[in-house]
Amino acid sequence: MTIAFAVYRDGAIHRVANVPDYPTMLASTGPGEVSYEIPAASAIFFPIDLAKVRAFYHARIDAAAGEERSKYITDVPGQAQTYQRKEDEARRWTEGDEAAHPELYPFMIAEAEMRAVPIDQVRDEILAQVNALAPLAAMIEAKRICAKRAVDAAEDIPGIAGAAAVDWEAA
């Protein structure tokens, strides 16, 4: 893996370089200099293509938001669809409906039968979990969108990198 970076000194690009890793990047940054990672494709020609830098940081923001979400949800293939289906069933369900239309509630019926609990208990637990996670998910999404807009509004690489530095812990 090669890391491309732009080194700034006195508010302007001083040099652009490629190194094998982050410790080497930090070691290559001298006193009074600040380094910002940039996509390798943007480091080939001058002026540096800020659209490529923005896209690079957009992808980082999205990945970081995904990492933050995965602290609170199960992040395995197909799980998001399962969660969505269970929420849909729970919101749609009315008492007695599972007997008349069992095809509409396969997840809730299966879980209730396996756990030997009433279907309304399963529904209540699903909705409680969804409602507990909604504010957190909303905050993560708001931070993701705001950071990407700030990246788009930034005029230079330091501004772009700064805008992409999201404090996810505050979520």
**Mean pLDDT of all residues in the chain?**
90
Q: Which long-range contacts does 66-71 make (Cβ < 8 Å, 24+ apart)?
A: 67/168, 68/140, 68/168, 68/171, 69/137, 69/140
The pLDDT value given to residue 72 = 87
166, 76 Cβ separation under 8 angstroms: no
pLDDT tens digits, 77-124: 888 899 999 999 999 987 777 777 888 899 999 999 999 999 999 999
Considering the entire predicted model, what is its pTM? 0.81
Mean pLDDT, consecutive 10-residue segments, the chain of 171 residues?
86 86 88 90 81 96 94 84 93 78 91 96 94 93 97 96 91 59
The pLDDT value given to residue 171 = 59
The pLDDT value given to residue 21 = 87
- Region of 57 on the Ramachandran plot (φ > 0 left; ψ -120 to 50 alpha; else beta): alpha
Domain boundaries, the chain: 1-48, 49-170
**How many whole angstroms separate alpha carbon 159 and alpha carbon 17?**
19
The pLDDT value given to residue 14 = 86
What type of residue is 118? P
